[in-house]
């Protein structure tokens, strides 16, 4: 059966760049996103990437288990076996702690924590007894609390705890779980209504970050990378 890499949040930002790097290396890739229009646009652009890998797309909200189930069924239905999963989906809503609402909590946790847990859980099921790699992409916000980022930090700290727990769970198996903590990147993550307006021109190029992640996930030697922290060199 043909192997394929799943990239959530593949319609833009870091997820898009990870998909591009994988395709350039000749890997088959399936990108997912909750936005049909963004997904179609990303697939159109990625289809021009040089390389021998096939590109597939599937709309899915990874914070919804029904969608995650359909996503994994879509991949197997097309004759592929998932050997790498990149959990790159995420979003940020920021503000001071007293401005937090239930809606804000639900949206941030769904995108950054629930989605990571659900996709990783389904990936572990299909990878059981085989060789597989799960890459959970979080943020440096999972390592230190930051002003205006209380809910976002809570989600990322939760994702970090979950990732470390499944790393302990799969110890001694042929599955690898890599935790990735990148700093700020110049991507569409920083929307007009996210609550913060940093000067993203000084942030990292997402393609450079993606290349670091993909190189670590696809290296073919006896060593294992369990954690990567990526910060700007500027």
Do 44 and 37 contact (CB within 8 A), yes or no?
Answer: no
Query: 219 pLDDT exceeds 70?
Result: yes
**Percent of the chain residues topping a pLDDT of 70:** 99
- Considering the entire predicted model, what is its pTM? 0.95
Contact 105, 151 (CB under 8 A): yes
Overall average pLDDT of the 91-111 stretch: 96
Q: According to the model, what pLDDT value does residue 223 have?
A: 80
DSSP structure string for 73-126: HHHHHTTEEEEEEEE-------B-GGG--HHHHHHHHIIIIIHHHHHHHHHHHH
Average pLDDT score, the chain: 95
* Residue 221 in this model has a pLDDT that exceeds 90: no
Q: What are phi and psi of 135, to 5 degrees?
A: -115, 110
For residues 117-121, average pLDDT: 98
pLDDT band at 143 (very low <50, low <70, confident <90, very high): very high
Cα torsion 27, 31, 37, 38: sign: negative
Q: Could you tell me the residue ranges of all domains in the chain? A: 2-230
Surface-to-core class of residue 234, CB atoms within 10 Å of its CB (0-12 exposed, 13-18 middle, 19+ buried): exposed
pLDDT at 78 over 80: yes
163 pLDDT above the threshold of 90: yes
CB 180 within 8 A of CB 104: no
Euclidean distance between CA atoms 151 and 171, whole angstroms: 31
Domain spanning 2-230, CATH architecture:
3-Layer(aba) Sandwich (3.40)
Query: Within 10 A of 185 (CB to CB), how many other CB atoms are there?
Result: 22
For residue 234, the model assigns a pLDDT of 66
Instruction: State the pLDDT at residue 224.
Output: 83
DSSP state of 55: E
For residue range 35-72, what is the model confidence (pLDDT) as tens digits?
999 999 999 999 988 777 899 999 999 999 999 999 99
Burial code of 98-115, b = ≥16 C-beta within 10 A, e = fewer?
eeeeeebeebbbbbbbbb
Torsion angles phi and psi, residue 141, rounded to 5: -65, -10
Instruction: Give me the sheet containing 175-182, strands edge to edge.
Output: 55-59, 29-33, 2-8, 80-87, 132-137, 175-182, 227-230
């Amino acid at each position: 059966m043909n192997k394929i890499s799943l990239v959530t949040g593949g319609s833009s930002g870091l997820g898009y760049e990870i998909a591009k790097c994988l395709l350039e290396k000749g890997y088959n890739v399936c990108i997912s996103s909750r936005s049909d229009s963004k997904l179609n646009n990303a697939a159109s652009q990625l289809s021009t990437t040089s390389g021998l890998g096939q590109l597939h797309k599937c709309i899915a909200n990874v914070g919804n288990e029904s969608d995650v189930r359909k996503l994994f069924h879509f991949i197997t239905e097309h004759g592929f076996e998932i050997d790498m999963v990149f959990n790159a989906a995420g979003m940020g809503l920021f503000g001071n702690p007293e401005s937090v609402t239930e809606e804000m909590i639900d949206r941030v946790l769904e995108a950054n924590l629930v989605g990571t847990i659900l996709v990783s859980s389904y990936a572990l099921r299909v990878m059981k007894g085989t060789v597989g790699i799960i890459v959970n992409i979080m943020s440096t916000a999972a390592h230190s609390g930051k002003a205006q980022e209380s809910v976002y930090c809570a989600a990322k700290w939760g994702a970090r705890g979950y990732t470390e727990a499944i790393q302990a769970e799969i110890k001694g198996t042929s599955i690898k779980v890599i935790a990735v903590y990148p700093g700020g990147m110049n991507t569409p993550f920083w929307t007009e209504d996210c609550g913060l307006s940093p000067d993203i021109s000084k942030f990292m190029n997402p393609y450079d970050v993606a290349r670091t992640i993909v190189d670590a996930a696809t290296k073919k030697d006896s060593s294992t990378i369990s954690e990567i922290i990526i910060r700007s060199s500027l």
